Structure 1
C-alpha cells in the first residue's frame, strides 16, 4: 500500500483514487446547487429530533461542513457516524462504513493531510475485499445505494429520479429493508406531486409502497401520515383520518409527523388545529423552512376565506392586512435560507405580493425565479405558470402571459402545471378569436397548440 507526501503531483494522483469512491463527495451536488446553511440546519434538526438513522445525517453533515470550510467539525461528524455504526450496526459494520470511510478520505484530502486520506483508502481497499463484486475501493451494495438515495432525496428536486433509481437497486437485493422502502415510497410520492395523480385510479405507486412499509413496521408513524396525504387526494378520508390520529398518538413530538399531519388537517379545512401542530413543531425545530411554509399556507387559506366572503369597514381591512403580513413573513422566512431549492415558497410569496398590489416586488421575484437553471422541470413549469398568471391577471398583458405559458408547455415533462399552461393558452386563443375570428396571431397560436398536441 502506498503513502503520499504533499507534492502537487502526488495530490493529483490521490484525487484519481478518491474520484473512484462512492460517497457524498462524488455523488452529491456541490455548493452551487445546494442551499448550504439550510441543509446544515435540516441535518442538525434531524439529529436533535433523534431520527433513527443518525449516522446517515452525520455523514451528510460532514460533507456540508467540509464545503463550508469547517473541516475539523466534519471530522468530528464522521467520528460520530462511525461510533453510531459500530454501536448500532455491529453485525453489518463493514457494509455500513464504506460511505463514512470515503468521506473521511475526502475531508483529509481537503485538509492537505494526505497520509490520513491514503490511510482511509487503504481501509476501503481492505473492506472491499469482503465483497465479491467490489472494485478496489468501492462495493455497490444496498447500503451504499440506500445512503446515496437518501442524500439525493434531501438535496433538491432535480435529483429525485436518480434517488429513485438508487432505492430501486437497494431493494433489489434487500427487499424487506424498512429504511430503503421508506426512501422509495417518499421519492415516488414527491415525483407524483410534480406529475399529478390520475384521479380515475384509487391508488398510486407511492401508496402501495407506504402500505408495504406499514406491513414491515406497523408503527411507522411517518409512513402513516404520508399515506394519509395520498389517500386524501383520492377522497378516502375515513382511512386517512384514522392514520393521522394513530400517527399523532404514537409519535406526538416527531417533527416529520407533525408537519404532515398539519398539512392533512389544513387541506381538510381545520386550519386552527393545523396551526397548533405546526407551532408545536416549530418549538422543536425553530428554523424549519417546511414548517414556516406550511404556516404561511394556513394564513393564505384564511385570506382566501376572507376574500370569498368579503366584509366592509376598517375591521375587515385590518384583518386582511394582518393576514397578508403573516403570509409574507412566513413565506419569506421559509425560503430565506433556501433560495435555490424552495421554489414553492418563493412562488407563494410572489402571489401574495401580487394579491396585495405589490407588483414591483412580485415582478422582481418572478424575474429571479425565471433565471434559475438546473432545476426540476416540474418546478420550472410551475414558475412559468405563475409568472404567466401574474402577467395575465395583474399586469393585464396577454402577450407576455403567452410567452410564459408557452415556455412551460414546451418543457418536456408531463405535469399538472404543464396542463394548466396549455389550458390558459387555449382560453386566450378562444377569447382572442371571439373578439376577432381572423386574428392572425390567435390563429397562429391555435395552430402551434395543435402541433404540440400532435407531438405529444
Structure 2
C-alpha cells in the first residue's frame, strides 16, 4: 500500500466484510484482523501503531490458544479464509482454510456456507470441468437449507438452478425484495442476482436502478449499475436508446471519479459506450489517446493495447493499426487473458492467409517469447 487513500480503501473493505460476515466483535478471529492492521500501519510508516496491533495479536494468542502446535485455532483458519476471499486471494486456499476450520468445529453453519461458495468459485475459475459440479450443487442445496438467512448463498444457488434449466424467476423476485431491504455490500446477494437477471431475464438494469433508488449515494451500487449498462449496451445486438446511452455515460463518469485508482477498465468501457453513437465517437477517440500517453504499468498497457486494437478494428475499420496493437499487447511479457486474446486474433488472421500482413504476423508469432 503506502498512501492514506490505500489505507482508507483497505479499512472500508475490511469493515464491510467483517460487519456482514461476523456475528461477534470478540474472538480469536481478531488475530487475523489485527495482524492485517499491523502490516498496514508498518507499510504506512507508523511503526508505533503497528507494534500496538502486534501486541494485541500476542495477547489474543495467549487468550485463545490453538488446539495444537501443528494447527491454528479454527476461527483463525476461518478468518484467514474470509480475508483472502474479500481481497480476491487464492480461492483454493480459501476453500482449504474453511475445510480445516470445519473439521475442527463442524457445527459452524456459516463456515460451511462460505466453504461451499469457495468451492463454487474454484470450480468456476477452473479452465476445464472439475467433475465436481454436481457434488458442489448438492452441497449448495444442503448449505442453503441449513443457512437460509445467507442471501448471498441463496442468490448463487438460484443462479446454479437457472443454469440447469430450472424456472426460478418468481423465487428470484422474492429474493431480490429481501436483498433490496438488506444493507448494501459485496455479500448482500445483489451481484449474483444482477447476473441472473441479466443472463436470463434481461432485467438487470431495472434491478440495479431499483437498488440505486433505495440507496442513491452508494458507490458500490453505482459500480454495479454501470456494469449492467455496459453489458446491456456492448453485448446486445439491439440498438440502444439515447436515454440508455446517456445514463450509461453518466454512471461510468461517476464511477471513474469514485474509484480513481482502478479506473482504466472503466475508461475503456466508457470509450466503448461513446463509440456506439455518432456524436460520441470523437470522445471515444479522445479517451483512448489520453490513455495511450498515460503512465501505465505493463499489465495496464496490455489491457489498453488489446482493447484499442479491437476498437480500431470494429469502430475505425483500421485493420493494419489493429494488428499492430494486437502485436504490442502480445509482446508484453505478462501472461493474461488480454495477451492470449491478442495472440488468438493474430493466429486467426495468419491461418486465414488473406491479409497482406500475414507474413509479418507469421514471423512475429514464430519469434514471440513466452513470459
Q: TM-score, normalised by structure 1?
A: 0.60
Unaligned runs of 5+ in 2: none
* Contact in 2 for aligned 1:347/1:366 (Cα 8 Å): no
> Take 1:372 and 1:243, find their aligned partners in 2: how far apart are those partners?
45
User: Do structure 1's residue 150 and structure 2's residue 78 form an aligned pair?
Assistant: no
Q: Equivalent of 2:327, from 398, 403, 416?
A: 403
Matches for 1:4-403 after TM superposition, within 5 Å: 30-31=1-2, 35-41=6-12, 51-53=20-22, 84-85=25-26, 93=27, 95-99=28-32, 102=35, 110=46, 112=48, 120=56, 123-124=59-60, 126-127=62-63, 129=65, 131-133=67-69, 140-155=72-87, 157=88, 160-161=89-90, 163-175=91-103, 176=106, 177-187=108-118, 189=120, 203=133, 207=137, 210-211=140-141, 213-232=143-162, 235-241=163-169, 244-245=172-173, 247-248=175-176, 250-254=178-182, 255=184, 256-271=188-203, 274-283=204-213, 285-300=215-230, 303=233, 308-309=238-239, 319-320=241-242, 322-341=243-262, 344-355=265-276, 356-357=280-281, 358-365=284-291, 368=294, 371-372=296-297, 385-394=306-315, 396=318, 397-403=321-327
Distance 1:285 1:216, change over 3 A: same
Any conservation in 2 of the 1:34–1:340 contact (CA below 8 Å)? no
What secondary structure is seen at the aligned counterpart in 2 of 1:132?
A: coil
- Find the counterpart in structure 2 of residue 15 from structure 1: none
Looking at structure 1, the residues matched to 142 and 196 of structure 2 have their Cα atoms a distance apart, in angstroms, of 21
Structure number with higher relative contact order (C-alpha < 8 Å, ≥ 6 residues apart): 1
Contact 2:310 2:322 (C-alpha < 8 Å) held by counterparts: no
Cα deviation for residue 359 of structure 1 reads: 0.6
- C-alpha distance in 1 between matches for 2:224 and 2:40: 36
Do 1:387 and 1:401's aligned partners in 2 also have CA atoms closer than 8 Å? yes
TM-superposed CA distance for 1:217, in Å, is 1.9
Number of residue pairs matched by the alignment: 353
Closer/same/farther in 2, CA of residues 153 and 97 from structure 1, 3 Å limit: closer
Contact 1:328 1:349 in 2 (8 A): yes
Distance in 2 of aligned mates of 1:188 and 1:347: 32
CA distance in 1, matches of 2:192, 2:98: 26
Q: CA deviation at 1:331?
A: 2.2
Q: CA distance change for structure 1 residues 349 and 196 in 2, over 3 Å: closer, same or farther?
A: farther
Question: Aligned partners of 1:405, 1:119: CA distance in 2, in Å?
Answer: 47
In structure 1, distance between residues paired with 2:135 and 2:293: 36
- Of the candidates 428, 434, 439, which is equivalent to residue 354 of structure 2? 434
Mark the CA change 1:35 to 1:218 in structure 2 (over 3 Å): closer, same or farther.
same
Q: Cα deviation per residue 1:234-288 (whole Å; 9 max; x = unaligned)?
A: x4242553652453365451342234323321222433xx334323433555444
Task: Give, in whole Å, the separation in 1 of the partners of 2:340 and 2:49.
Answer: 54
Question: Which has the greater radius of gyration?
Answer: 1
CA distance in 2, matches of 1:343, 1:193: 25
Are the counterparts in 1 of residues 346 and 361 from structure 2 also a CA contact under 8 Å?
no
CA distance in structure 1 between the aligned counterparts of 2:217 and 2:133, rounded to whole angstroms: 34
Aligned-partner SS, 2:20: coil
Classify 1:119/1:144 alpha carbon distance in 2 versus 1 (closer, same or farther; 3 Å): closer
- The residue matched to 1:434 in structure 2 has which SS? coil
Q: Which residue of 2 aligns with 1:444?
A: 363
